[in-house]
Amino acid sequence: MAKITASVYTSHIPAIGVAIDQDKTDEPYWQPLFKGYEFSRQWMQDNTPDAIFLVYNDHATAFSLEIIPTFAIGAAAEFVPADEGWGARPVPKVVGHPELASHIAQSVIQDDFDLTIVNKMEVDHGLTVPLSLMFGQPDAWPCTIVPFAVNVVQYPVPSGQRCFQLGQAIRRALESYDEPLKVQVWGTGGMSHQLQGRRAGLINKEFDQAFLDRLIAEPADLAKMPHIDYVREAGSEGIELVMWLVARGAMSDICGGPAIAVKHRFYHVPASNTAVGHLILENN
């Protein structure tokens, strides 16, 4: 059976990808941010999984207003990084895991979550920037990746509660996969930020730190927070944080298992227009 070993949470700011790709990580603006991920890159080397179930959001790259899947699972053998305006990032293609993705789709759909199955999909900074932060610049990503896109761009978007419950269903799916894979579940996006309108540039450090505290210690309660609170407190793009609840829902302690261990916590402001949050939680 597959086993969820850990969950990883991180922001996905596109300018971080550009800083990595253009060798700017030692510049004074970026240095403190990348320092916060030094532990993480070593931890990833020591704890490389067989597969990552990577929860992220597409930013009108693979999808548009023509088709808006609430939850889309990538079941292809590979996913190509897309051109987002700065040019396609010079990062490796993403190698998928069609068998695992198909099994998760079967299990989760039978468990009453209606997923869209996507067999061809380009991936944007929502997925590639977290990979770069955690793995650096390898010639190939060191494990397979099942991309899982959540609509947090066009309302109506799924609730935190729905995301948290979906994480629990993903755990059940992985635990019924009959290959002994080590799997990490990643929740990406966030933290507080707003990219447009009168409140553009909004950052709320207090909200962000409380979100991290509650994600660790009282996720079921945090999952009840309505959309309006995210948008009011964390800005319009702060709603990306509901994706972190999918990863948290997949952890062992949620369904009566042993307590989780907080391996790493990092918070930094600013990076581009965004507050950066990062957590590594291990299942004991």
Minimum CB distance to ligand DHB, residue 165 (Å)? 24
Q: Which is nearer to ligand DHB, 29 or 217 (CB)?
A: 29
Residue of 10, 8, 13, 9 lying closest to 274 (CA atoms): 13
Cα(243)–Cα(149) distance, rounded to whole angstroms? 9
**Residue 127 belongs to what H/E stretch?**
helix 125-135
Residue type (1 letter), 32 = P
Omega within 30 of 0 (cis) for the link into 191: yes
State CA 192 to chain mean position distance. Answer: 15
Catalytic residue among 97, 193, 268, 278: 193
Residues 52-91 that bind ligand DHB (CB under 6 A): 59
Cα(89)–Cα(61) distance, rounded to whole angstroms? 13
Minimum CB distance to ligand DHB, residue 271 (Å)? 7
240-259 burial: b if 16+ Cβ within 10 Å, else e? bbbbbbbbbbbbbebeeeee
Cα(254)–Cα(266) distance, rounded to whole angstroms? 23
Minimum CB distance to ligand DHB, residue 89 (Å)? 14
Verify whether residue 193 is a known catalytic residue: yes
Verify whether residue 59 is a known catalytic residue: no
Binds ligand DHB by CB under 6 A, chosen from 6, 10, 14, 153: 14
**How many other CB atoms are found less than 10 A from the CB of residue 182?**
15
Binds ligand DHB by CB under 6 A, chosen from 40, 107, 144, 273: 273
DSSP state of 90: S
Catalytic residue among 125, 227, 264, 278: 125
Q: Which is nearer to ligand DHB, 169 or 275 (CB)?
A: 275
Residue type (1 letter), 80 = V
Task: Provide the token pair at 113.
Answer: 């979550």
Minimum CB distance to ligand DHB, residue 274 (Å)? 4
Binds ligand DHB by CB under 6 A, chosen from 237, 241, 246, 280: 237
Residues 186-215 that bind ligand DHB (CB under 6 A): 193, 195
Cα(209)–Cα(216) distance, rounded to whole angstroms? 11
Q: Which residue stretch of 24-32, 102-110, 201-209, 272-280 sits at the interface with ligand DHB (rule: CB under 6 A)?
A: 272-280
Binds ligand DHB by CB under 6 A, chosen from 3, 5, 15, 168: 15
Q: Which is nearer to ligand DHB, 63 or 177 (CB)?
A: 63
Q: Which is nearer to ligand DHB, 10 or 107 (CB)?
A: 10
Binding site for ligand DHB (CB under 6 A): 12-15, 59, 193, 195, 237, 272-274
